[in-house]
Structure 1
């Protein structure tokens, strides 16, 4: 069994796209899969309740029989920072509140599980807590999705430094090209490889209408003992 916390250098940099592709890759290798997105904002009200597109995408790549509520236990309608949405809804968004549901998914024992954060590494929860504190409490290795565009090297290095300072292992990173017009793209990718002391799990070019399968063809899984 192997589980990873997926974070990003920013919001809207393809974190869910990469997480789903990793799950797809794992399933293609015959591994069972599970996922959790502990908190999501920007949800749509349906007959079944609030639903988040990212969480639904993750659920679609799970081979384990999980309900939506198991994958995404805390959902908010406003497309704003989770701690602000929680404050408006009168919900105590604490690490302790999120730990139980995520541990429940991890306890299902899938071969490959991803826990996807929201935004970047230091997204606030309640008080001084952040989503990084959840990853620390879970003691999961981290996969960093780098949204490749102007400024990404600084964001990637700062994120990697924060992850290391928090005592967690950076198991790998993914270069996801979100701006096809990025100047000196190859040089930037080479610099990222030099600056990040972790394996690059893949370089994903800018894709129109990416699917888990199309993105997975550019990715590898972190090297672990699957036995």
Structure 2
């Protein structure tokens, strides 16, 4: 079995990497080989080995295949701003073609379970009029949507699901990740999401003191995700 998915979110800073790492950990625990890519990342730190992104490092840590950092995150930018702006500042053309080639190299390794994590939400800009969603369309992968649960999340989740469907891709499932513990009527919001989202809920992850991949994986239903292929 080989399965690959594109992971996106309803916004930035809503836990895409937390959920992706949790899913990879669940796959490892199930005995599957794992690989991942975050083809573009901003907000990277300068290290002796070059620019490094915490999210990409978290994904790399859950890969069973022997991957180099630059394979997982080929385009890394230091400023913590939108990737297309960070790329422009250093004179890099952030286009679908360059990202597609890097991701295909990961997919070609044929891990049992591979995740490709986007940046921000579904319509994050690239060069010109392109968006990161164009990469997902080119790859043709089913999509996992991470819903950052807070005020307004229902609207953001439904609009994201509509955009994914309009782009011709399958929404394989969604994960509710609690961003704001003070969210009013939390249970009612979760029920409304479950009633209206056109794909199964793969899990609800509460606010955790330490959201390690192992702990997060306990709240995720990998079998339900793979069953839908």
TM-score (norm 2): 0.97
Distance 2:115 2:3 in 1: 9
Distance 2:111 2:23 in 1: 14
Specify the alignment match of 1:86 in structure 2: 87
Specify the alignment match of 1:58 in structure 2: 59
Which blocks of at least 5 consecutive residues in structure 2 are unaligned?
A: none
Specify the alignment match of 1:218 in structure 2: 219
Deviation at 1:223, TM superposition (A): 2.5
Specify the alignment match of 1:21 in structure 2: 22
Specify the alignment match of 1:195 in structure 2: 196
Distance 2:130 2:210 in 1: 35
CA RMSD of aligned residues (A): 0.9
Residues 10, 121 of structure 2: 8 Å contact kept? yes
Deviation at 1:209, TM superposition (A): 1.7
> Cα deviation per residue 1:65-110 (whole Å; 9 max; x = unaligned)?
1000000000000000000001101000000011111000000000
> Cα deviation per residue 1:153-181 (whole Å; 9 max; x = unaligned)?
00000000000000000000000011111
What secondary structure does 2:120 align onto? Answer: coil
Between the two proteins, the alignment pairs up a number of residues equal to: 226
What secondary structure does 2:119 align onto? Answer: coil
Deviation at 1:46, TM superposition (A): 0.7
Indicate the larger mover: 25-34 or 201-210.
201-210
Distance 1:64 1:73 in 2: 17
Distance 1:114 1:47 in 2: 27
Specify the alignment match of 1:40 in structure 2: 41
4+ residue runs over 6 A deviation: none
